[in-house]
Structure 1
């Protein structure tokens, strides 16, 4: 059964047309059924996207059995998606990118496929100049309309600087993570395990939060 309408497929085809390079999406599934409830749905989403553009390439791995790949891409658990071009860009989704988060996935694909980073010109050099490791975890739910901008900003910063890693984390799937990091409202952004804020901040303020966390 198709998840996307013909109208949606045509819209996505228009977005993906002309992408300069392949977008490689690595899917890590898990044998932990508690967390992999939506694994088949994730596969269906990826299969539909791949059917729209031959620039989208999918590889599937097992979190339990493909330890080399798990270590190489620093995957903490499954299900997870790693989005990359010819190298890892530090862009991950933990859980299913459905609901409002489907737009985050699509926009990431377009940026990677076009080799572009849609960050404000006045900020991008500051992002690129960050020399310390930064790990951004963005906790979301599928029904949160304010979450995609928070995810996208984190992912764009990761694309711009190899010192930055950025994860979308589905709070409903990974409820244990959500409890660990005190998630009560979303989006909740956690930086380097110690600094956090809530809400979809403008890029400039988002960057200021990152810089304050690594001082």
Structure 2
């Protein structure tokens, strides 16, 4: 039995039929200590079955360390949408509210038409230094997708930005390290923290603090 409802598949088929370009998805799994790897694989396989424009590759992180290193994978399950810098990352199962983040990323990449405000686009084009943005979420958080999508949109425009969604409950060690007590919690370059799905202008100001 699949994880996606029939009406979800119909909607996705309509959206994916509009894709102009192929979208490559890479999933990194592990046989050890990865509770959600199988469910993540099932979700991505069902998505890939809907359209031949979506290509899914699945790797065992331990058996494909060279590929994992290329994509800078540090934990599993890791879903990475392939692009110029392979910088759109989902650590943890992209389910619940975060399913929409994944689908919207796929649509943006497939159409090479990013749903981004002019203010955020102009700012992203000025970013010339490497930057890491971690967005801690839970799949039941309705406000988290906006925080994830803002970071991922930045990464789509600025290839030196790596934006990583992290499912806080799946990775309690990271949640503890970054003092996650509420979500979304955003960590920029390890030195700037904030909580909430901020409007673009405030998000930009926080990034400026980090750099």
TM over 0.5: yes
| Segments ≥4 residues shifted beyond 4 Å | none
How much does 1:84 deviate? Answer: 1.7
Tell me the SS of whatever aligns to 2:134.
strand
Query: Which runs of 5 or more residues in structure 1 are unaligned?
Result: none
Query: Which runs of 5 or more residues in structure 2 are unaligned?
Result: none
Give, in whole Å, the separation in 2 of the partners of 1:194 and 1:47: 37
Aligned counterparts, 1:188-203, within 5 A = 188-203=185-200
Aligned counterparts, 1:156-195, within 5 A = 156-195=153-192
Please tell me whether residue 56 in structure 1 is matched to residue 38 in structure 2. Answer: no
Tell me the alpha carbon deviations over residues 94-119 of structure 1, each in whole angstroms, 9 at most, x when there is no partner: 01001110000100000011111211
Contact 2:71/2:86 (8 A) holds in 1: no
Contact 1:89/1:159 (8 A) holds in 2: no
Tell me the SS of whatever aligns to 2:128.
coil
TM score, norm. by length of structure 1: 0.95
Equivalent position of 2:95 in the other structure: 98
Equivalent position of 2:203 in the other structure: 206
Contact 1:141/1:171 (8 A) holds in 2: yes
Aligned length: 211
TM-align CA RMSD: 1.1
Mark the CA change 1:202 to 1:130 in structure 2 (over 3 Å): closer, same or farther.
same
How much does 1:21 deviate? Answer: 1.0
1:71 to 69, 72, 78: 69
TM score, norm. by length of structure 2: 0.97
Tell me the SS of whatever aligns to 2:87.
strand
Please tell me whether residue 30 in structure 1 is matched to residue 30 in structure 2. Answer: yes
